[in-house]
Amino acid sequence: MADLILKGVAKAYGDVKVLSNINLDIRQGELIVFVGPSGCGKSTLLRMIAGLESITGGTLSIDGRIVNDLPAAQRGIAMVFQSYALYPHMTVRDNMAFALQIARKPRAEIDAAVDKAARVLQLTPYLDRLPKALSGGQRQRVAIGRAIVRDPKVYLFDEPLSNLDAALRVATRIEIAQLKEQMPESTMIYVTHDQVEAMTLASRIVVLAGGGISQVGTPLDLYERPENEFVAQFIGSPAMNLLPGEIVATGAQTRVKLQNGGEVLAAIATKDGDRGMQVNVGVRPEDMLPTEGDAHVFEGEVEIVEALGEVTLLYFKRVGEAAQVIGKLPGIHSELRRKRVRLTADPAKVHLFANGRSLLYR
């Protein structure tokens, strides 16, 4: 159990820079989730922490000790990979005990560690089975158990659920959340491309983009107060709508005239000098509400309706080069296909961005 501190960490392959100026403090007991688009470097950063990739700049400290040049085996880290990487000829018990056997731990200590991990992960009935006799979710639990028995300072998870089907992903995600509850002092770093995993598991989320950190915060911080347009559209599904407009009135609430002809209030304070500023108005699809009034964020013809039962997604017909606008209404609204619909939003749910940055963080 340990703190991790990354200061100015960078990674390059020759002249190709993958990551640069990564500054991050990870406190003991946190479950930190790295997310970002494909190729953003999240798995590379995890492997650098593990010691499987070299660090080409900056320092990485674990429990107050700089470990840049320390071999992976001496960092006190256990890693759970995307593939289970179990030994097919070994039983569950032997798979979980293997690392301790290599370290020549006493037999009694090994048995106690394996039995404890098996109880935590509900694997006790399967200890004498081979991996081929287990489901995908059970195999992933064995891989996690193999990490637990080592009692590491830090646990690393590299997209551990991506090989599971949808139902198993949900079940295993809940099991990981329960595991963290049972191990509150354990420090965990988890890489995923799945927003649901990130939002439900994380103490804090680290959003990576363009070779650096775009924003760090709790799941709800990133959802409710994104610092920039990238985070605003990356967190949340469907992505936040961005509509161009101009500030026409300032004060405690800001009025924006939209290029699509609509007008909206945002609960964001602006100054007289901001009048005339070109901004993008951000509204999440789930925050858009039908209205008959003149003040509206968007009005258009519904081209496609996706009735999902608990919610209905409305895809509006594009005009010219405009981005796709999506509304997300509770309930079933199949009747709205091919209809013109006007949507508004609560001023507290409206975001304003100038030059890609939120006006909240000026």
Domain ranges of the chain: 4-234, 241-361
Which residues have a Cβ under 8 Å from the Cβ of 24 and sit 6 or more positions away?
4, 5, 6, 206, 213, 216
- What would the pLDDT profile of 190-238 be if each residue is shown by its tens digit? 999 888 899 999 999 999 999 999 999 999 999 999 999 999 999 999 9
Looking at residue 161, its pLDDT comes to 84
User: Is residue 270 predicted with pLDDT exceeding 90?
Assistant: yes
Question: Please, which pLDDT band fits residue 175 given cuts at 50, 70 and 90?
Answer: confident
Looking at residue 179, its pLDDT comes to 86
* CATH label, 4-234, candidates 3.40.50.10860, 3.40.50.1400, 3.40.50.300, 1.20.1250.20: 3.40.50.300
Query: What mean pLDDT comes out for the span 150-173?
Result: 86
CA-CA distances (angstroms) from residue 124 to 94, 128, 141, 175? 13, 9, 11, 15
User: Is residue 1 predicted with pLDDT exceeding 60?
Assistant: no
The alpha carbon dihedral of 16, 42, 163, 223 has a sign of negative
- What would the pLDDT profile of 81-136 be if each residue is shown by its tens digit? 888 789 999 999 999 999 899 889 999 999 999 999 998 888 999 999 999 999 88
Query: What mean pLDDT comes out for the span 291-305?
Result: 88
Which residues have a Cβ under 8 Å from the Cβ of 279 and sit 6 or more positions away?
244, 245, 246, 247, 256, 352, 353, 354, 359
Looking at residue 171, its pLDDT comes to 83
Looking at residue 73, its pLDDT comes to 86
User: Is residue 68 predicted with pLDDT exceeding 80?
Assistant: yes
What average pLDDT is seen over the chain? 92
User: Is residue 64 predicted with pLDDT exceeding 80?
Assistant: yes
CA-CA distances (angstroms) from residue 21 to 122, 145, 209, 337? 41, 34, 12, 48
User: Is residue 39 predicted with pLDDT exceeding 80?
Assistant: yes
pTM of the predicted protein model = 0.91
- What would the pLDDT profile of 14-33 be if each residue is shown by its tens digit? 999 999 999 999 999 999 99
Looking at residue 319, its pLDDT comes to 76
Looking at residue 81, its pLDDT comes to 85
- Per-residue H/E/C for 250-296: CECCEEEEECCCCEEEECCCECHHHCCCEEEEEECHHHCEECCCCCC
Query: What mean pLDDT comes out for the span 161-189?
Result: 86
Q: For 160-174, 257-271, 308-322, which range has the lowest pLDDT when averaged over its residues?
A: 160-174
Question: Please, which pLDDT band fits residue 293 given cuts at 50, 70 and 90?
Answer: confident
